[in-house]
Amino acid sequence: MIVAMQERATEEQIDAVIDAMVEVGVGVHRTTGASQTILAGVGPTANVDLTKFEVLPGVLNVHRISAPYKLAGRAFRPEGTVVEFANGVKIGGEKIAVMAGPCAIENQDQITTIAKCVKAAGGEFLRGGAFKPRSSPYAFQGLGIPGLKLMYEAAREQGLLTVSEVMEISQIEAMLPYTDLFQVGARNMQNFNLLRELGQIRKPVLLKRGISATIEELLLSSEYIMSGGNYDVILCERGIRTYETATRNTMDISAIPVIHKLSHLPIVGDPSHGTGRRDMVPAMAKAAVAAGADALIMEIHPNADKAVSDAAQTLYLEQFSELMGQLRVIATAVERTL
């Protein structure tokens, strides 16, 4: 950490800051220039709240110079993490994985039809929500575990893996038999108790970026899971909230290369939530692949207009199949497969 003192800081103020730094356990190196004193704190500061130094008398500003996360940082595994599933499917390797399915599992027919489509198009994961977080208490809330079973059976018939959202700790155990990849939704990215519990299981976790989370906060949240011993974390960019209203969210494609630089964890693009509009999904799916995404997750439905939720952003099955062909060409262009 670095503390820059104001030009007119007194020696007493400087000493008080040095004392406060020593108290949190860092060694202090002092540099005094013609007009300003700089205090460099060397030592572990990941668990120090730096903002408290900002309001000490005589302080101009304070900077963290090391990342506040450790296990999630690139340096922890410079070669990158590849998450491997029981059937040999990998995320983070040369092949770009595809996860597709409905926003909400509705019934057996629906999910079976979709599973066949995902398989035929070359996808690896069937996605579908059994528990739905909805802004309005009057909206459909999901089928729960019975729905998840339907999806699991449909997936396994096709040799697919399943990914589904867990909304609270009490659901984890019941979901375990039917879930290959536990999704943490954007609204729960900082539900730290849930993250901590997911650090205790031995199944991979798909952690979605909150709609107003910085990339640093996303990595800190992944650290919660990893610090429990579960290193199989996959991150997901699904759009952030900005002032622009032409799309539901602004999909931050640059998060993909940024995360690849800062972290070893794989990163997935979600163009469905990223845009909120069916007609924008193909362009953004292509962009995500071109920018280096390790996987894609998309919403599809045989009768997309009548999907019980997220209808506007859901692709028709034919659209999905056609898009998969186009994505394969882009993947080749960036020297990967799909």
The amino acid at residue 235 is L
Shortest separation between residue 210's beta carbon and its own copies, angstroms: 8
Selection from 175, 162, 176 nearest residue 114 by Cα = 162
The amino acid at residue 61 is N
Q: Where are the alpha helices (DSSP H) in 169-316?
A: 169-175, 192-198, 215-226, 255-262, 271-275, 281-291
Shortest separation between residue 105's beta carbon and its own copies, angstroms: 17
- Cβ closest to its own copies, residue 15 vs residue 305: 305
Instruction: Round to whole Å and give the CA distance between 293 and 256.
Output: 6
- Cβ closest to its own copies, residue 162 vs residue 272: 272
- Cβ closest to its own copies, residue 115 vs residue 224: 224
Dihedral of the alpha carbons of 176, 199, 202, 267, in degrees to the nearest 10: 90
Shortest separation between residue 165's beta carbon and its own copies, angstroms: 12
Instruction: Round to whole Å and give the CA distance between 215 and 205.
Output: 17
- Cβ closest to its own copies, residue 155 vs residue 248: 248
* Contact of 301 with 106, CB cutoff 8 Å: no
Tokens linked to 101: 């399915």
Shortest separation between residue 326's beta carbon and its own copies, angstroms: 8
Q: Please tell me whether residue 168 adopts helix, strand or coil conformation.
A: coil
Instruction: Quote the DSSP letter at residue 257.
Output: H
Residue found under tokens 């309001």 = 55
Shortest separation between residue 154's beta carbon and its own copies, angstroms: 24
Shortest separation between residue 39's beta carbon and its own copies, angstroms: 10
Pairing of strands 97-101, 295-299: parallel
- Cβ closest to its own copies, residue 153 vs residue 211: 211
The dihedrals phi and psi of 261, each to the nearest 5 degrees, come to -80, -45
- Cβ closest to its own copies, residue 121 vs residue 240: 240
Q: How far is CA 63 from CA 36, 38, 326, in A?
A: 16, 11, 45
Dihedral of the alpha carbons of 234, 239, 242, 243, in degrees to the nearest 10: -170
- Cβ closest to its own copies, residue 115 vs residue 185: 185
Shortest separation between residue 159's beta carbon and its own copies, angstroms: 28
